A and B are shown apart, each in its own frame.
Chain A
């Protein structure tokens, strides 16, 4: 797209690479990858983006990138950057357009053989019950603007209070499904207008609901504590804050372009635009971002509820038999105010995770009681043809990456390449021959989301496991997928 600027890279060990501080960089860059991956990573400008992030004021620790790193707007996707609350900045580009895009995993009392003959019916029922195409939404969910403000303030709790789920669900969501400090007044009318009809919809692109089963268990004890065992049926939900979050990001990029000029923040790339955390612009963004994040939590909560209903409709049994319970729910596009050890001192910092997942260690007070000794569950979705992983957060992640790890496979091919590769072949038929039933709103989406368009997520997971910033627990295999 444009000329490639070489970035200096030093190998630390088999899993870590250092981008040494130089020029305007205020700290080093740190990239998690193996030898083979780093070659691919060097093909785009994402390493330059890691270096660019390191130039921002008040950055703490290192500008970090996960093995699923790829080029993003301003900040790379797969990037983690923490900032000092007094001298640091917050940037919409460090969160991304789809605020609180994230993943939820549910377990069930069903085993693989229970659903073998029902998978077509399940996928069709999910596709009918969960709106995913253009303009589609549930007729039974109409939201006034006042009610939308409550969604933005309360997150998942808003949905649970209205009967879409249970109090136990809430315990198993990151931040209990509600980011503090949300203020709907900081969200533009246009964002609310875009969001109002989109609550409880899946959205397009790589978003999905996936029925799968536990294919392989690496840590039996941990799996047990998560209520998962081999062949157990699971559901993964991947979606975010829809048009509302995109509009918040877009609105604040404009605010931050102006703010960066006003606060004289030198930007190597316009899309890194930001404002000091303690400035009015910074605080407003955090309040708007939290609102959008809460919208996303409510969205995943609603979709989970309709997933449960779909299973009940197909199996004609009640929730007590199906036991579709939330294992965990993680954000992978977010900025969070968290307490971390910075040079031996406990400190509140703002951690940006853009295409990165929180991975808190065992014993962390923010973990739900039943997982406290275990560490935080980390959910890593792969492409629709292969597999997904469940990992756990570690102490090492807490020390090295502000408690963060990877988030998914990361794209390998452009949409055009993927389409070319898919040409003439029916992707859904191909997947069906492998035992995976897929339904999508558009043929284009399916073609552009072919498994080959993504990196093999097992390579990504292997790096974070070997580097010690998360621990493999089990692998899930898809059986049925609905795509937006």
Chain B
């Protein structure tokens, strides 16, 4: 299996390059990378799920909105996710489900907290049949 994402160095924050065979996979892997910044993914068990239906004016904005959902659910409800399934994805609309559980102190040691998903140099592109994007998280 090829790498889903890799972290890149960035002075004040943290960057990630995300890959995917399809656009759907790219979005799923981006979500995994988001939670991998926070903690070890294997510590999150699939106890509950949430469904998402999102609209945005373009693909990049849709990706930021998708990741922002997790930021919002984590901050307001303590929800952590480890598995993601995109059911429907177009340039301006996304339907998905994510599985995970609520944050429990001791069980989920948090490495660092993401404060925002930025638009910095955000570009989703296809190259040689493989999708790729770079996202910078504000910490």
Find out whether the CB atom of B121 lies under 8 angstroms from the CB atom of A2: yes
Interface residues on A, range: 35 or more
CA distance A70 to B136 in the complex (A): 16
Chain B: minimal CB distance from A271 (Å): 6
Q: Is B116 at the interface (CB under 8 A from chain A)?
A: yes
Find out whether the CB atom of B115 lies under 8 angstroms from the CB atom of A97: yes
A2-B121, A97-B138, A190-B72 in contact; A243/B11 too (CB < 8 A)?
A: no
Binds A, one of B2-10, B82-90, B124-132: B2-10
Which residues of B are found within 8 Å of A73, using beta-carbon distances? 118-120, 136, 138
CA distance A205 to B121 in the complex (A): 23
Find out whether the CB atom of A44 lies under 8 angstroms from the CB atom of B110: no
User: Closest chain B residue to A193 by CB distance?
Assistant: B76
Find out whether the CB atom of A71 lies under 8 angstroms from the CB atom of B118: no
Q: Interface size on B (CB < 8 Å)?
A: 32
CA distance A323 to B76 in the complex (A): 37
CA distance A2 to B7 in the complex (A): 15
Residue of B10, B11, B14, B72 with highest tally of chain A CB at under 10 A: B11
Q: Is A278 at the interface (CB under 8 A from chain B)?
A: no
Chain A: minimal CB distance from B62 (Å): 12
Find out whether the CB atom of A442 lies under 8 angstroms from the CB atom of B121: no
Q: Is A98 at the interface (CB under 8 A from chain B)?
A: yes
Which residues of A are found within 8 Å of B61, using beta-carbon distances? 254
Which residues of A are found within 8 Å of B115, using beta-carbon distances? 97-98, 204-205, 243, 246
Find out whether the CB atom of A416 lies under 8 angstroms from the CB atom of B7: yes
Q: Mark A114-153, 1 if CB is under 8 A from B, else 0.
A: 0000000000000000000111000000000000000000
Binds B, one of A327-335, A394-402, A407-415: A407-415
CA distance A411 to B13 in the complex (A): 10
Which residues of A are found within 8 Å of B15, using beta-carbon distances? 1
Which residues of B are found within 8 Å of A72, using beta-carbon distances? 12
Find out whether the CB atom of A205 lies under 8 angstroms from the CB atom of B103: no
CA distance A97 to B137 in the complex (A): 11
Find out whether the CB atom of B109 lies under 8 angstroms from the CB atom of A1: no
Q: Mark B1-42, 1 if CB is under 8 A from A, else 0.
A: 000000111111111000000000000000000000000000
Chain B: minimal CB distance from A382 (Å): 16
Which residues of B are found within 8 Å of A413, using beta-carbon distances? 11
Which residues of B are found within 8 Å of A414, using beta-carbon distances? 9-12
Find out whether the CB atom of B103 lies under 8 angstroms from the CB atom of A135: yes
Chain B: minimal CB distance from A240 (Å): 10
Q: Is A253 at the interface (CB under 8 A from chain B)?
A: yes
Find out whether the CB atom of B116 lies under 8 angstroms from the CB atom of A250: yes
CA distance A362 to B9 in the complex (A): 43
A190-B72, A193-B76, A442-B111 in contact; A97/B116 too (CB < 8 A)?
A: yes
**Cross-chain contact of B112 among A1, A250, A445 (Cβ < 8 A):** A445
CA distance A431 to B136 in the complex (A): 31
Q: Is B59 at the interface (CB under 8 A from chain A)?
A: no
Chain B: minimal CB distance from A165 (Å): 27
Q: Is B96 at the interface (CB under 8 A from chain A)?
A: no
Find out whether the CB atom of B8 lies under 8 angstroms from the CB atom of A1: yes
Q: Can you report 9 A-B residue pairs in the complex whose CB atoms are below 8 A from each other?
A: A1-B10, A73-B138, A134-B105, A135-B103, A250-B116, A271-B120, A415-B10, A416-B14, A441-B110
